[in-house]
């Protein structure tokens, strides 16, 4: 480990250890090491294929049946992305977050990812702002079901609870973020006195605003990203490294500190 990174890990571990309520704000960068491409950045999908159509949700609302037919036939310009998601497994970064939660240091994950990898890694306290690709959701009452527990008999499928239209849980361009997820994010941000900013370019709102609120209330920000982001200038500590390398080192240091604490007790 270079000196700069080991110094930053030391500082980050001290902040996490002394914090009351640590929250991780996660973006596509965390899953990059699981083989899922990010949207932005040099290897990003949008950089390679251009920005997507921002009228996605309007199209769905206009003709949900057509949207479902497309989904079932898997017609997408982003076939490469879907295949990568199908194959992806949690990496060392996801596992380190699960360990931080088990050790009692991490209270919640707010993720912008839709890939279900936090659940596969075993994390429990998760809010998915952009939904989860393995679930369906009713647009009217926000009830959610795992894909394989919802029999699709007609298109578009209807909610058995309220009769509303059912769609994929993943939030589309132009679709409002589900109220329950937004409320939980506010609740977590209010309590948070240390936010880990992991693999997010922090330009997508509302997520980009949470760290600013934490900072405004006197909390600490720790950025984990190999590249600079618009949040870098607000960060107290910067781990300039891949999440799959930096997060296990942070957990290791927290374990050592806990053991040292026990020896001195
Ligand atoms: P982004 O694509 O805009 O930015 C990715 C960030 O991750 C960049 O800052 C980059 O420097 C950083 N990064 C790249 N590799 C990294 C690594 N190994 N470790 C740590 N950081 C790394 O991602 P975003 O900010 O999350 O916004 C894009 C939106 O697209 C998200 O809101 C999400 O809904 C969606 N998305 C999801 C997935 C997924 O579910 N895995 C993948 C792509 C995009
Ligand atoms: Zn419903």
CB 61 within 8 A of CB 67: no
ω into residue 206 within 30 of 0, thus cis?
Answer: yes
Q: From the candidates 94, 108, 118, 130, give the one annotated as an active-site residue.
A: 130
Q: Which ligand is nearest to the CA of 27?
A: 1
Query: What's the CA gap between 128 and 181, in Å, rounded?
Result: 7
Look up the pTM and report it: 0.95
The residues facing 197 across adjacent strands are: 25, 223
3-state secondary structure of 220: strand
Ligand 1 within 6 A of 111 CB?
no
% of the chain beyond a pLDDT of 90: 79
Report how far ligand 1's centroid is from the alpha carbon of 242 (Å). Answer: 12
Beta strands in the chain (DSSP E): 22-26, 106-111, 126-128, 135-138, 144-146, 166-168, 194-198, 220-224, 237-239
Are β-strands 144-146 and 166-168 bridged in parallel, bridged antiparallel, or unpaired? unpaired
Query: What's the CA gap between 221 and 47, in Å, rounded?
Result: 28
- Quickly state the pLDDT bin for 23 (edges 50, 70, 90): very high
Q: Is residue 151 packed enough to be buried (19+ CB in 10 Å), middle (13-18) or exposed (0-12)?
A: exposed
Q: Which residues contact 75 (CB under 8 A, 6 or more apart)?
A: none
Question: What is the average per-residue pLDDT within 187-200?
Answer: 98
Mean pLDDT lowest among 3-7, 52-56, 95-99: 52-56
Is the pLDDT at 243 greater than 80, yes or no? yes
Name the residue of 24, 25, 26, 27 whose CB sits within 8 Å of the most ligand 1 atoms, as the mutation to test its pocket. Answer: 27
Q: Which ligand is nearest to the CA of 162?
A: 2
Ligand 1 within 6 A of 112 CB?
yes
pLDDT at residue 1, rounded to an integer: 73
Is the pLDDT at 77 greater than 90, yes or no? no
Residue with CA nearest ligand 1 atom 4: 201
Distance of alpha carbon 35 from its chain centroid, rounded?
Answer: 15
Report how far ligand 1's centroid is from the alpha carbon of 265 (Å). Answer: 42
pLDDT at residue 192, rounded to an integer: 98
Atom of ligand 1 nearest to the CA of 200: 25
- Quickly state the pLDDT bin for 202 (edges 50, 70, 90): confident
ω into residue 156 within 30 of 0, thus cis?
Answer: yes
Ligand 1 within 6 A of 88 CB?
no
Instruction: Give the angle subtended at the CA of 235 by the CAs of 230 and 240, to the nearest 5°.
Output: 80
Distance set, CA 91 to CA 61, 114, 243 (Å): 36, 15, 9
Ligand 1 within 6 A of 33 CB?
yes
Atom of ligand 1 nearest to the CA of 88: 41
The backbone torsions φ and ψ at residue 139, rounded to the nearest 5 degrees and listed phi first, read -70, -20
Query: What's the CA gap between 256 and 151, in Å, rounded?
Result: 49
pLDDT at residue 165, rounded to an integer: 96
CB 169 within 8 A of CB 132: yes
Does the annotation count 130 as an active-site position?
A: yes
Q: Which residues contact 125 (CB under 8 A, 6 or more apart)?
A: 101, 107, 108, 109
pLDDT at residue 46, rounded to an integer: 79
Report how far ligand 2's centroid is from the alpha carbon of 166 (Å). Answer: 8
Is the pLDDT at 75 greater than 70, yes or no? no
Is the pLDDT at 78 greater than 80, yes or no? no
Is the pLDDT at 189 greater than 90, yes or no? yes
Any idea what DSSP says for residue 65?
H
Helix (DSSP H) and strand (DSSP E) numbers for the chain: 11, 9
């Amino acid at each position: 480990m270079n000196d700069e990174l080991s110094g930053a890990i030391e500082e980050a571990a001290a902040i996490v250890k002394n914090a009351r309520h640590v929250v991780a704000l996660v973006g596509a960068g965390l899953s990059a090491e699981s083989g899922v491409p990010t949207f932005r950045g040099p290897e990003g999908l949008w950089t390679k294929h251009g920005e997507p159509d921002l009228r996605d949700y309007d199209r769905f609302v206009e003709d949900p049946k057509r949207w479902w037919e497309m989904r079932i036939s898997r017609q997408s310009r982003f076939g490469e992305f879907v295949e990568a998601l199908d194959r992806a497994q949690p990496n060392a970064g996801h596992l380190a977050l699960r360990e931080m939660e088990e050790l009692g240091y991490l209270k919640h994950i707010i993720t912008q990812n839709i890939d279900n990898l936090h659940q596969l890694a075993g994390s429990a306290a998760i809010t998915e702002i952009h939904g989860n690709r393995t679930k369906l959701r009713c647009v009217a009452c926000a009830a959610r079901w795992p894909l394989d527990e919802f029999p699709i008999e007609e298109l578009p499928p209807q909610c058995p609870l309220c009769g509303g239209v059912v769609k994929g849980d993943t939030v589309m361009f132009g679709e409002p973020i589900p109220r329950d997820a937004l409320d939980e994010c506010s609740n977590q941000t209010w309590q948070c006195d240390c936010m880990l900013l992991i693999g997010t370019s922090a330009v997508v709102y509302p997520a980009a605003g949470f760290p600013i609120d934490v900072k405004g209330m006197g909390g600490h920000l720790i950025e984990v990203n190999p590249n600079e982001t618009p949040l870098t200038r607000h960060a107290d500590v910067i781990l300039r490294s891949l999440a799959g390398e930096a997060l296990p080192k942070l957990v290791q240091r927290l374990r050592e500190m806990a053991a040292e604490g026990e020896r001195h007790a």
